[in-house]
């Protein structure tokens, strides 16, 4: 039994929804109040760049229905976000002035699209993607023959490029860095991702910066640093997020761009926790790191719930995420900065969606990272190998006649 009467969760997104399930799953019987600034019930964001655009009417993204929330005994407040935390009184104040008291508070406020003010100033034909309305707004924009410029060759940019090509748009991706998905993928995979986009007809400009943008009638004109002018019907930019940490800053919590939390997801105030995209967590190596993935939001929600219920955390798995582009499923686990990458199978970009291979990330002879490309069933074996600090043995792991499942004991 816990003596905590009320848990308030701010942010009805992935981490917020997951925290509810984890609290009830860990036998928390007190009151849970979920406060969201969106009018929706919690929903999944990964489909926003994919199925919500491609198959809007058959895509279900809700994480918890109203019936489920009622069954779990959760009080929900929607469309009325928190504007202030009073950490001394242990209350939060909502946009409409209502005040809600908590014993434990979870900040699961996610992030907002990082803005490009010169593009925003154009006032029309410019889009970003973070929430359901953003995604729905893109449906009529991404239509056959439309010229779309995507700024940012990260996960969101490439997923949108893929969706836009399915819709037969004419797509250009502008990336400042020398690689696509340069923050989250090793070079060998980045080259494959780039080749897939190019084979699908996307014009990818790497190491390219933008000097200017303006409207010319209904066209957006983007001038590159080399003076070249690109014209488009719409521009979508995805250049990262800014954590929604303002509430924490104003409440005097320790914030360094994101809300700093310890291994238990506790902030510098012992009754306030943070989880998901808004949190930067102390890791075993003594560094703080923020992870923007679906899995991390769920994981940290679980850490929070178990900590307030005095339940020990299970040993953490290596970090995992995925992306789906041009009918190819990519999954990533562990350290993407491994010093070398070894290929099991064939990397042949021309095979396109028929491609299927596995990459082993190796540092000092040990498997520290892994990537599957249309080979999702091998992912759990990679996770095990990384968890065990398994030494890399090329003759075993690169031999396709050997079953990975049998090699991982
Ligand atoms: C388009 C897109 C595609 C993605 N694809 C993938 C993918 O393929 N794989 C993957 O691993 N990850 C993917 N992600 C990332 C993943 O969805 C996020 O990491 C995850 O949603 C983070 O969960 P969160 O709860 O921290 O934040 P969110 O899910 O963003 O939820 C935060 C909620 O808090 C609300 N909020 C903010 N401030 C307040 C306030 N003051 N009061 C009340 N409510 C507030 C926000 O409006 C939002 O509803 C994708 C994200 C996007 C946007």
Closest by Cα among 219, 187, 221 to 206: 187
Instruction: Return phi, psi of residue 143, to 5°.
Output: -120, 155
Q: What is the pLDDT of residue 409?
A: 75
Q: Which stretch of DSSP H or E encloses residue 93?
A: strand 91-94
Query: Which ligand 1 atom is at minimum distance from the Cα of 112?
Result: 30
CA max distance for the chain:
67
Reported as a single tens digit per residue, the pLDDT across 43-76 is 999 999 999 999 999 999 999 999 999 999 999 9
The protein residue with its alpha carbon nearest to ligand 1, atom 2, reads 46
Cα torsion 25, 26, 32, 38: sign:
negative
Q: Compute the average pLDDT of residues 12-31.
A: 98
pLDDT tier, 23 (very low <50, low <70, confident <90, very high otherwise): very high
Chain-wide mean pLDDT for the chain? Answer: 97
Tokens 């979920």 label which residue? 34
Whether the pLDDT of residue 1 is over 60: the answer is no
Contact 36, 244 (CB under 8 A): no
pLDDT of residue 316: 85
Six token digits for residue 387: 């968890």
Contact 32, 96 (CB under 8 A): no
Percent of the chain with pLDDT over 90: 97
- Residue 364 zone, left/alpha/beta (φ > 0; ψ -120 to 50; rest): left
Mean pLDDT over residues 227-246, rounded?
A: 98
Atom of ligand 1 nearest to the CA of 323: 8
Residue 327 has a pLDDT of 97
Ligand 1 centre to CA of 310 (Å) is: 27
Q: What is the mean pLDDT of residues 176-200?
A: 97
Question: For residues 204 and 195, is the Cβ–Cβ distance under 8 A?
Answer: no
Task: Give the model confidence (pLDDT) of 332-381 as tens digits.
Answer: 999 999 999 999 999 999 999 999 999 999 999 999 999 999 999 999 99
Neighbours of 313 (CB within 10 A): 13
Query: For residue 98, what pLDDT is reported?
Result: 98
State yes or no: pLDDT of 2 exceeds 80. Answer: no
Q: For residue range 136-168, list pLDDT tens digits in order.
A: 999 999 999 999 999 999 999 999 999 999 999
Place of tokens 């560094």: 287
Pocket test for ligand 1, best of 34, 46, 160 (most atoms within 8 A of CB): 46
- Look at residue 94 in the predicted model and tell me its pLDDT: 98
Going by C-alpha positions, the residue among 108, 87, 105, 100 that lies closest to residue 36 is 108
Q: What is the band of 26 on the pLDDT scale with cuts at 50, 70, 90?
A: very high
Percent of the chain with pLDDT over 70: 100
Q: How far is CA 356 from CA 43, 169, 345, in A?
A: 31, 27, 7
Contacts of 229 (CB under 8 A, 6+ apart): 221, 222, 223
Global pTM reads 0.97
């Amino acid at each position: 039994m816990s003596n905590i009467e009320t848990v308030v969760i701010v942010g009805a997104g992935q981490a917020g929804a997951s925290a509810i399930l984890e609290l009830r799953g860990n036998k928390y019987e007190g009151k849970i109040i979920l406060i969201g600034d969106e009018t929706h019930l919690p929903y999944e964001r990964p489909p926003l760049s994919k199925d919500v655009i491609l198959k809007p009417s058959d895509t279900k993204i809700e994480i918890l229905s109203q019936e489920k929330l009622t069954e779990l005994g959760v009080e929900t407040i929607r469309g009325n976000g928190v504007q202030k935390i009073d950490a001394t009184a242990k209350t939060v104040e909502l946009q409409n002035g209502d005040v809600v008291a908590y014993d434990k508070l979870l900040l699961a406020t996610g992030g907002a699209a990082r803005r490009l003010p010169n593009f925003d100033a154009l006032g029309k034909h410019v889009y970003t993607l973070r929430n359901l309305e953003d995604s729905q707004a893109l449906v009529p924009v991404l239509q056959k023959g439309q010229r779309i410029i995507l700024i940012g060759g990260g996960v969101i940019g490439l997923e949108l490029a893929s969706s836009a090509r399915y819709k037969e748009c004419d797509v250009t991706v502008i990336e400042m860095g020398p690689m696509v998905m340069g923050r989250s993928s090793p070079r060998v995979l980045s080259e494959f991702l780039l080749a897939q986009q190019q084979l699908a007809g996307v014009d990818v400009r790497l190491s390219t910066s933008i000097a200017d943008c303006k409207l010319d009638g209904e066209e957006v004109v983007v001038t590159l640093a080399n003076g070249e002018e690109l014209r488009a019907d719409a521009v979508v930019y995805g250049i990262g997020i800014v954590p929604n940490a303002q509430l924490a800053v104003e409440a005097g919590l320790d914030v360094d761009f994101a809300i700093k939390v310890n291994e238990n997801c506790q902030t510098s105030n012992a009754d306030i926790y943070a989880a998901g995209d808004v949190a930067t967590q102390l890791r075993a190596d003594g560094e703080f790191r923020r992870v923007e993935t679906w899995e991390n939001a769920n994981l940290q929600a679980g850490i929070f719930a178990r900590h307030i219920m005095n339940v020990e955390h299970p040993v953490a798995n290596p970090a995992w995420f995925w992306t789906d582009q041009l009918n190819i499923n990519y999954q990533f686990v562990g350290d993407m900065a491994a010093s070398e990458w070894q290929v099991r199978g064939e990397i042949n970009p021309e095979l396109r969606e028929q491609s299927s291979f596995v990459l082993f990330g190796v540092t000092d002879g040990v498997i520290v990272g892994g990537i599957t490309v249309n080979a999702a069933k091998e992912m759990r074996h990679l996770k095990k190998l990384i968890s065990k600090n398994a030494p890399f043995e090329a003759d075993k792991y690169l031999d396709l006649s050997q079953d990975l499942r049998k090699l991982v004991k």
